[in-house]
Amino acid sequence: MTRRRTRAALVAIFVATAMAGVPAVAAAHVAVGIGDNNREIFTDPRFLALGIRYVRDDIAWNAVNVPVERANLAAWVAGAQADGLTPMITFDHVIGSVRTQRRLPTVAQFSRAFLKLRGLFPTVTEFETWDEANFYLEGTAFNPKRAAQYYLALRRDCPTCTIISPDLLDVPRTEAVPIVTWVHQFLRYSHGQPGIWGLNNYFGANRLERQTTKQLLHAVRGKIWFAETGGIVRRRNGSSVGFRQGAKHAAKVDRFILRTLVNLSPRIQRVYLYEWRAVSAHDTWDSALISWTGVPRPAYGVLANTLALWGISPNCSISTVPPPCAGSTGPTAASLRSRNPVLTVRPTARGS
């Protein structure tokens, strides 16, 4: 029986047993995480109520050598682990001009920075080699050999860690090397298939298409994590997107991701939605579940309802905001926030 049919059957059982007053059997499902380096998430009851266990942060490869970035990372890791969450760290270019961000470290420099990070944060054990490695603004776009060397260095330096391949961005060839082309070049130097591949599934997901996800599934043999994905509310970086934008569109996309794309293969095992909360009304990238004014968007309801369908009901004693908590008399997000002030927000911006 295929995974899709299995899920359909289990959902039918869920409905039937619920109608009969019998506790429902939770359907098989992917693991869901949130990608955001905004530390507010760790004290937001609307997030805590959902029962999500995974979070992702994207940092410069040399962040541990920069005092401000190292302090931000330390606070993020501490917040994640205080909530009992599993953090994943993705390495990326340094912040600066286009020329600066395309400049790649040597393998020795990359390895030294990673070992220093491991020494500072030994409980973090999930790492993604490089962010959007096929994107033209990344030095790895035309140097998959170096990306493979980074991947092998991470495996060598932490053999007990979970090491994810460089993740791929599914945008048109005008913005990135085609996924399959880049993967085939990477595999020439990686000495075997990575066990887990990362995919930043934006273009296909927002066009409600399956093609780019299927392309990666056919090109590789390992598991696939959607390291970044989500419905785009607004993208202001001067490039054409070719699909509708807005909060309603984003909700439709997130539903498509969680109800359709994840069912393409049992190898798709984890999904990180990006991002939790928008920073301002002028963000160059906004795919957040919570608006910059603090109001939950329709996509938040899609996420909460999907988790509940899978048997992960929200904890309404933490927050009554998730739609499945309608009618609950537990504390509201606003009341809990007044008792548990959020940490300082660190602004982020997407360039892709």
pLDDT per residue as tens digits for the range 218-252: 999 999 999 999 999 998 866 656 778 899 999 99
What pLDDT was estimated at residue 181? 97
How confident is the model at residue 95, as a pLDDT?
Answer: 82
Cβ contact 315:333 at 8 Å:
no
pLDDT the model gives residue 109: 98
Instruction: Please report the pLDDT score of residue 82 as a whole number.
Output: 97
Task: Tell me, letter by letter, the H, E, C secondary structure of 206-269.
Answer: HCCCCHHHHHHHHHCCCEEEEEEECCCCEECCCCCCCCCCCHHHHHHHHHHHHHCHHHHCCCEE
Instruction: Identify the pLDDT of residue 238.
Output: 62
Which tokens belong to 318? 């933490």
Residue 236: predicted pLDDT: 80
Can you point out the beta strands (E) in 11-150?
31-35, 54-60, 86-92, 126-128
- Residue 318: per-residue pLDDT: 97
CATH class held by domain 33-339 = alpha beta
The region, left, alpha or beta by phi > 0 then psi within -120 to 50, assigned to residue 16 is: alpha
Domain segments of the chain: what residues? 33-339
- pLDDT, one tens digit per residue, over 17-39 is 333 333 343 447 999 999 999 99
Amino acid letter at 233? Answer: V
| Coil vs helix vs strand at 74 | helix
| CA angle in degrees (0–180, nearest 5) for 47-51-52 | 75
Q: What is the pLDDT along the chain (352 residues), one digit of tens a residue?
A: 443 333 333 333 333 333 333 334 344 799 999 999 999 999 999 999 999 999 999 999 999 999 999 999 999 999 999 999 999 999 999 987 777 788 999 999 999 999 999 999 999 999 999 999 999 999 999 999 999 999 999 999 999 999 999 999 999 999 999 999 999 999 999 999 999 999 999 999 999 999 999 999 999 999 999 999 999 999 886 665 677 889 999 999 999 999 999 999 999 999 999 999 999 998 989 999 999 999 999 999 999 999 999 999 999 999 999 999 987 765 554 444 443 433 333 333 343 3
Model pLDDT, residue 96: 75
Residue with tokens 């970035």: 69
Supply the pLDDT for residue 8.
37
Kindly tell me the burial class for residue 125, based on how many C-beta atoms sit within 10 Å of its own C-beta (0-12, 13-18, 19 or more).
middle
Question: How much is the pLDDT for 207?
Answer: 94
Q: Determine the Cα–Cα distance for residues 223 and 1; give it in Å rounded to an integer.
A: 19
- Nearest Cα neighbor of 197 from 216, 184, 182, 215 is 216
Contact 53, 94 (CB under 8 A): no
Q: Are 85 and 129 in contact (CB under 8 A)?
A: no
pLDDT for res 237: 65
